[in-house]
Amino acid sequence: MSVKTDAYVVFGNPIAHSKSPLIHGLFAHQTKQAMSYQTYLAPLDQFAVSVQGFMQLGGCGANVTVPFKLEAFDLAQTLSERAQVAGAVNTLLFRDGQIIGDNTDGAGLVRDITVNLRRSLQGARVLLLGAGGAARGALLPLLQQLPAQLCIANRSVEKAETLCALAASFEIDDVQLSVLSLDALAQGGVGQFDVIINATSASLQQESVMIASDVFASDCLAYDMMYGDVATPFMRMAQSAGAQTADGLGMLVEQAAEAFYLWRGVRPDTALVLAQLRGDRQA
Ligand code: ATR
The tens-digit pLDDT sequence of the chain (283 residues) is: 445 799 999 999 999 999 999 999 999 999 999 999 999 999 999 999 999 999 999 999 999 999 999 999 999 999 999 999 999 999 999 999 999 999 999 999 999 999 999 999 999 999 999 999 999 999 999 999 999 999 999 999 999 999 999 999 999 989 999 999 999 999 999 999 999 999 999 988 999 999 999 999 999 999 999 998 999 999 999 999 999 999 999 999 999 999 999 999 999 999 999 999 998 776 6
Taking the CB of residue 102, how many other CB atoms lie within 10 A of it? 24
Given 103, 136, 167, the domain boundary residue is: 103
pTM, entire model: 0.95
Residues 93 and 114 reside in one and the same domain: no
Ligand 1 touching residue 221 (CB < 6 A): no
Query: Could you tell me if residue 190 is inside a domain?
Result: yes
Q: Look at ligand 1, atom 21, and give the residue with the nearest C-alpha.
A: 200
Ligand 1 pocket mutation, candidates 65, 163, 200, 205, criterion most atoms within 8 A of CB = 200
Neighbour order of strands in the sheet with 216-224 = 176-181, 149-154, 125-129, 193-198, 216-224, 244-246
User: Do the beta carbons of residue 254 and residue 270 sit within 8 Å?
Assistant: yes
Q: Is the peptide bond before 67 cis (omega within 30 degrees of 0)?
A: yes
Question: In ligand 1, which atom is closest to the CA atom of 207?
Answer: 27
Residues 115 and 225 reside in one and the same domain: yes
Residues 115 and 88 reside in one and the same domain: no
Ligand 1 touching residue 200 (CB < 6 A): yes
Question: In ligand 1, which atom is closest to the CA atom of 159?
Answer: 18
Q: Look at ligand 1, atom 2, and give the residue with the nearest C-alpha.
A: 133
Helix (H, G, I), strand (E, B) or coil at 8: strand
Residue 111 belongs to what domain range? 106-249
Q: What is the pLDDT of residue 280?
A: 79
Ligand 1 touching residue 101 (CB < 6 A): no
Ligand 1 touching residue 156 (CB < 6 A): yes
Residues 113 and 239 reside in one and the same domain: yes
Ligand 1 touching residue 203 (CB < 6 A): no
Domain count for the chain, please give it. 2
Residues 172 and 193 reside in one and the same domain: yes
Ligand 1 touching residue 158 (CB < 6 A): no
Q: What is the pLDDT of residue 1?
A: 47
Given 103, 122, 140, the domain boundary residue is: 103
Q: How far is the centre of ligand 1, averaged over its atoms, from the C-alpha of 98 (Å)?
A: 33
Question: Among 75, 132, 94, 113, which Cα is nearest to 8's?
Answer: 94
Q: What is the pLDDT of residue 3?
A: 54
Displacement of CA 259 from its chain's centroid (Å): 12
Q: How far is the centre of ligand 1, averaged over its atoms, from the C-alpha of 77 (Å)?
A: 29
Question: Among 84, 81, 179, which Cα is nearest to 128's?
Answer: 179
Residues 115 and 172 reside in one and the same domain: yes
Whether 69 sits among the annotated catalytic residues: the reply is yes
Residue 73 is part of a domain; what is its CATH number? Answer: 3.40.50.10860
